[in-house]
Amino acid sequence: MIKSLSKYFSWIAIATFCMALPAYSQEETIQIKKPGVITDFTPPTPIVVKGYSGEVAKVLNFDLTVMGFKEVEEGGAQYTLSGSNNGSVQGQLSFGKTVIFSKVYTGSSLRSQAHRLADEVVFKLTGVQGIAESRIAFCGYNILGGGQGKKGEIYVSDFDGYNAKSVTSDDVDVCDPCWVPGRLAMFYTSYKSVYPRIFYQNLTSGERRVFSSYPGMNAGSAVSPDGTKVAMVLSRTGSSEIWVKDLSGGEARQLTTSAHQASGPCWSPDSSTICFSAVVGGRTSLYKVSASGGGMERVRTDGVGRPTEPDWSPDGKWIAFTSQASDFSICVIPASGGSATPIVTGQDPSWAPNSRTLVYVKRSGTEHLVLSVLDVPTKQYKDAYRVTGNHSNNSQPSWAR
């Protein structure tokens, strides 16, 4: 048992431990599994959480669940997170009787303090930065009858859907929000001026401008991880193809000529390659094209059909996408293509900065689209808090990275 577990032993975690606890005994086994093969089911790491109540208890449960942990009864785990949320959040993480850290969190809200505590637990135990303080953008909308169609806004919120705020107030069809990496700025498509145009918006100043307004469709904007280029779908040549344009301006450059019905471009982390969905010869597949041009190369998604909406993990190893049979499912393939692993029912996945958690869309009953947060290795998920009222469908999430 100990030997088989040691196979999964994280050297980063050991290093972290040794630095934090010089006197720590090396005899003891730390049961941590790094997501070695992300598409193999990995059991969650059990942890006892005690002393918290109300909102803080919920936040800790949500955050730890979607980062690969599972709350268990006392005695069921070697890790214990104990503390309180009386006025401010306090937390002590221990392994058996050894205290790993003990902290008091101040400032901002109790939710925020709880998020920081969860991130600290995850970082101490896995060596990977937590995601509980990260943010997402999405569309909040309803579809009205009588030919009125979609009325919605672009929203930004905490990664769990809380503190959602609309950043537009146009009451029109909006879609495809995408963050500029590391900035409070985004691109999205809006029908504000009747035809679908790509807008750039600075969320700090509120300034926005039209980024792409060619005749026909301007949609699917995706900013390269190095922050210099925007991939998008334009139909100006008479078919929907992948184009790229510099953030600094200039003309858009056409990358594909035979995708015909291209959609959903995303970038490799080194900003060299764009992955997208296209319909060639009546068949929907994922393709890659170099951001500097050249031919399209098909990406295998063995075992599942009609792949769309790809998203490349920030560590470069995986591509998540939506496949469609009788229902939509979230699937993952190695970035080079290959056998696809269906994870859960849902659509439009977007990777978190940790390259293991996804936010995606699922249908709640027949009525609403709701965002859900999924830990891929353990297949654990939690529904995000939903914007309700006039914008009760929440879709097309984009994780800020």
Return the residues of window 86-105 that contact another protein according to CB under 8 A: none
139 closest CA partner among 332, 348, 367: 348
Q: Which residues of 338-376 are buried (b: 16+ CB within 10 A; e: fewer)?
A: eebbebbebbbbbbbbbbbbbbbbbbeeeebbbbbbbbb
157 or 273: CB nearest another protein: 157
Q: Among 70, 103, 150, 300, which residue sits at the site for another protein (rule: CB under 8 A)?
A: 150
77 or 121: CB nearest another protein: 121
Secondary element (H or E) of residue 62: helix 54-65
Task: Determine if 165 is a binding residue for another protein (CB under 8 A).
Answer: yes
Using CB under 8 A as the binding rule, the residues of this chain from 207 to 226 that contact another protein are 208-210, 212-217, 219-220
Q: How far is the CB of 223 from another protein (least distance, A)?
A: 12
Using CB under 8 A as the binding rule, the residues of this chain from 276 to 305 that contact another protein are 277, 284
383 closest CA partner among 356, 364, 396: 364
Task: Determine if 261 is a binding residue for another protein (CB under 8 A).
Answer: yes
Using CB under 8 A as the binding rule, the residues of this chain from 319 to 348 that contact another protein are 322, 324, 328, 347-348
The vertex-161 CA angle with 156 and 166, nearest 5°, equals 30
Q: Among 36, 96, 182, 294, which residue sits at the site for another protein (rule: CB under 8 A)?
A: 182
DSSP 2-49: HHHHHTT--HHHHHHHHHH-TT--TTSPP-----SSTTS--PPEEEEE
Q: Among 251, 281, 302, 365, which residue sits at the site for another protein (rule: CB under 8 A)?
A: 251
The vertex-224 CA angle with 221 and 225, nearest 5°, equals 135
9 or 214: CB nearest another protein: 214
32 or 131: CB nearest another protein: 131
| Alpha helix segments (H runs only) across 103-243 | 110-126
Q: How far is the CB of 263 from another protein (least distance, A)?
A: 4
Using CB under 8 A as the binding rule, the residues of this chain from 348 to 377 that contact another protein are 348, 353, 366
Task: Determine if 131 is a binding residue for another protein (CB under 8 A).
Answer: yes
Q: What CA–CA distances, in Å, run from 177 to 121, 151, 168, 199, 231?
A: 31, 15, 11, 10, 13
Binding pattern for the stretch 105-124 against another protein, x by CB under 8 A and - elsewhere: --xx----------x-----
Q: Which backbone phi and psi does 26 adopt, to 5 degrees?
A: -85, -5
Q: How far is the CB of 237 from another protein (least distance, A)?
A: 4
Choices 23-31, 62-70, 79-87, 391-399; region in contact with another protein by CB under 8 A? 391-399
Task: Determine if 205 is a binding residue for another protein (CB under 8 A).
Answer: yes
Task: Determine if 179 is a binding residue for another protein (CB under 8 A).
Answer: yes
78 or 261: CB nearest another protein: 261
125 and 80 Cβ atoms separated by less than 8 Å: no
Q: Among 61, 65, 113, 263, which residue sits at the site for another protein (rule: CB under 8 A)?
A: 263
Choices 15-23, 40-48, 53-61, 259-267; region in contact with another protein by CB under 8 A? 259-267
Number of residues that bind another protein (CB under 8 A): 83
DSSP 146-182: TTTEEEEEEEEEETTSTT-EES----B-EEEEEEPTT
394 closest CA partner among 189, 154, 148: 154
Could you give the CA distance from residue 83 to residue 389 in angstroms, rounded to a whole number? 36
